[in-house]
Amino acid sequence: MTSTVPRGSAGTKRKPVASGGATGRRERARGLGLRTRFRRDRTLILMTLPVVLLLLVFNYVPILGNVVAFQDYDPYLSDNGFIAVFQSPWVGLEQFERVVQDAGFWHAVRNTFVLFLLQLVLFFPIPVALALLINSVVRPRVRAVAQAIMYLPHFFSWVLVVTVFQQVFGGAGVLAQALREHGHPGFDIMTDPAVFKYLVTAEMVWKDAGWGIIVFLAALAAVPHDLYEAAAMDGAGRWRRMWHITLPALRPVIALLLVLRVGDALTVGFEQFLLQRQAVGPDASEVLDTYVWWNGIRNQDFSYAAAAGLIKGVVGLSLVLVANKAAHLMGEQGVYKK
Amino acid sequence: MSAVVGRPVPEGVRGRSRWAAPPRPVWEEEPAKAGLAAKGLVLGIACFAVLFPLWIVIVTSLSPKKVIDDTGGLVVIPKGITFVAYQELLGGGQVQRAALVSIGVTLVGTLFSMTVSVLCAYGLSRRDSLGHRWILMTLLATMFFGAGLIPTYLLVQALGLTDTYLALILPSAVSVFNILVLRGFFMGISPELVDSARIDGAGDWRILWRIVLPLSRAVLAVITLFYAVGYWSAWFNASIYLTDQKMMPLQNVMIQLVQKQERPVGLSAQINTGQLSPLAVQMAVMVLALLPVAVLSPFVQKHFRKGMLTGAVKG
Q: Please report which confidence band the pLDDT of residue A81 belongs to, taking 50, 70 and 90 as the band edges.
A: confident
Between chains, do A152 and B135 touch, taking CB under 8 Å as contact?
no
Give me the phi and psi of A90, to 5 degrees please.
-85, 140
Number of residues that this document lists for chain A: 338
Residue B69: enclosing H or E segment and its boundaries?
Answer: helix B65-71
Indicate which of A1, A9, A134, A300 best probes the interface with B, i.e. most B CBs within 10 Å of its own CB: A9
Give me the phi and psi of A71, to 5 degrees please.
-120, 175
The answer on pLDDT for A172 being more than 60 is yes
* Whole-Å CA distances, B23 to A133, A235, B10: 19, 21, 8
Using one digit for the tens of pLDDT, what is the confidence trace for B68-90? 888 777 888 888 888 888 888 88
For residues B285 and B89, is the Cβ–Cβ distance under 8 A?
A: yes
Dihedral angle over CA of B84, B85, B91, B94, nearest 10:
160
Number of residues that this document lists for chain B: 315
DSSP state of A32: S
Q: Please report which confidence band the pLDDT of residue A260 belongs to, taking 50, 70 and 90 as the band edges.
A: confident
End-to-end CA gap in chain A:
39
For residues A246 and A223, is the Cβ–Cβ distance under 8 A?
A: yes
Nearest partner of B25 among B2, B9, B36, B1, judged by Cα: B9
Question: Pick from B128, B144, B305: which is nearest to A317 by CB?
Answer: B144
Q: Which residue of B lies nearest to A153 if distances are taken between CA atoms?
A: B50
Residues B15, B42: Cα–Cα separation, whole Å = 30
CB pairs under 8 A between A and B: 369
Between chains, do B56 and A274 touch, taking CB under 8 Å as contact?
no
Max CA-CA distance within chain B? 74
Q: What average pLDDT score do residues B266-279 get?
A: 69
Q: Kindly report which listed range (A56-60, A263-267, B43-47) carries the lowest average pLDDT score.
A: A263-267
Minimal C-alpha gap between B253 and chain A (Å): 10
Between chains, do A52 and B74 touch, taking CB under 8 Å as contact?
no
The answer on pLDDT for B44 being more than 90 is yes
Indicate which of A17, A58, A182, A280 best probes the interface with B, i.e. most B CBs within 10 Å of its own CB: A58
Minimal C-alpha gap between A82 and chain B (Å): 5
Q: What is the pLDDT of residue A337?
A: 52
Between chains, do A26 and B127 touch, taking CB under 8 Å as contact?
yes
User: If you average pLDDT over every residue of chain A, what do you get?
Assistant: 84
For residues A57 and B152, is the Cβ–Cβ distance under 8 A?
A: no
Q: Which residues of B145-168 are buried (b: 16+ CB within 10 A; e: fewer)?
A: ebbbbbbbbbbbbbbebbebbbbb
Q: Please report which confidence band the pLDDT of residue A22 belongs to, taking 50, 70 and 90 as the band edges.
A: very low
The answer on pLDDT for A282 being more than 50 is yes
Question: Pick from B74, B147, B225: which is nearest to A59 by CB?
Answer: B147
Using one digit for the tens of pLDDT, what is the confidence trace for B195-252? 899 899 889 999 999 999 999 988 899 999 999 999 999 999 999 999 998 999 999 9
The answer on pLDDT for A87 being more than 90 is no
Nearest partner of B222 among B141, B292, B305, B162, judged by Cα: B305
Question: What is the pTM for the complete model shown?
Answer: 0.86
Minimal C-alpha gap between A2 and chain B (Å): 8
The answer on pLDDT for B313 being more than 50 is no
Residues of chain A positioned with their CB less than 8 A from the CB of B74: 167, 173-174, 177
Residues B168, B165: Cα–Cα separation, whole Å = 5
Q: What average pLDDT score do residues B133-153 get?
A: 89
For residues A61 and B153, is the Cβ–Cβ distance under 8 A?
A: no
Question: Pick from B52, B150, B293: which is nearest to A302 by CB?
Answer: B150
Residues B293, B297, B298: CA angle, nearest 5 degrees? 130
Q: Kindly report which listed range (A250-259, A278-287, B215-224, B298-307) carries the lowest average pLDDT score.
A: B298-307
- Regarding predicted confidence, which is higher, B25 or A153? A153
The answer on pLDDT for B303 being more than 80 is no
Q: Please report which confidence band the pLDDT of residue A154 belongs to, taking 50, 70 and 90 as the band edges.
A: very high
Q: Please report which confidence band the pLDDT of residue B269 belongs to, taking 50, 70 and 90 as the band edges.
A: low
Minimal C-alpha gap between B189 and chain A (Å): 6
Minimal C-alpha gap between A298 and chain B (Å): 9
Q: What is the pLDDT of residue B173?
A: 95
Q: What is the pLDDT of residue A2?
A: 39
The proportion of chain A whose per-residue pLDDT surpasses 90, expressed as a percent, equals 41
Between chains, do A214 and B305 touch, taking CB under 8 Å as contact?
yes
